[in-house]
Amino acid sequence: MSPQIQIATTPEEIERLYDFIRQFPFDYLSYLQWLEKCKRELELHYEHQNLGSLLVSLAELYAKENDYKRIQGDAHQENPVVSFMQKREYRIEAQESLYTAKKEN
């Protein structure tokens, strides 16, 4: 059973999400400012599609400012994020079966 994506809609859910993300002290320049901006956007009740676009835009801006050559993602083929990213002109470069249908013992 794959986890289901849910939209944080209450102040309590937003705070839980913020606390969860904050526990990963990524060593990015401006990471904490990015995290605070995401929290503010959630608190302003951005709709689901706006939040996804916002997060991708922030990642793209960070990559550009830091001279990254590419942004690479990993998702199951059925994940809706695949079509979302393709609409943003990202392309699938490779596909690989990493998971089996049966759980291994």
Structural domain total, the chain: 1
Of 2 and 38, more confident: 38
Q: With 90 as the cut, is the pLDDT of residue 67 above it?
A: yes
Answer whether residue 96 is part of any domain.
no
Q: What is the average pLDDT across 51-71?
A: 85
- Position 68 scores a pLDDT of 92
Band the pLDDT of 99: cuts 50, 70, 90.
low
Residue 37 lies in a domain: yes
Mean pLDDT of 22-45: 74
- The answer on pLDDT for 90 being more than 60 is yes
Domain that holds residue 29: 11-87
* Secondary structure (DSSP) of the chain: -PPPP----SHHHHHHHHHHHHTS----TTHHHHHHHHHHHHHTT--HHHHHHHHHHHHHHHHHHTT-S-------TT-HHHHHHHHTT---------S-SSPP-
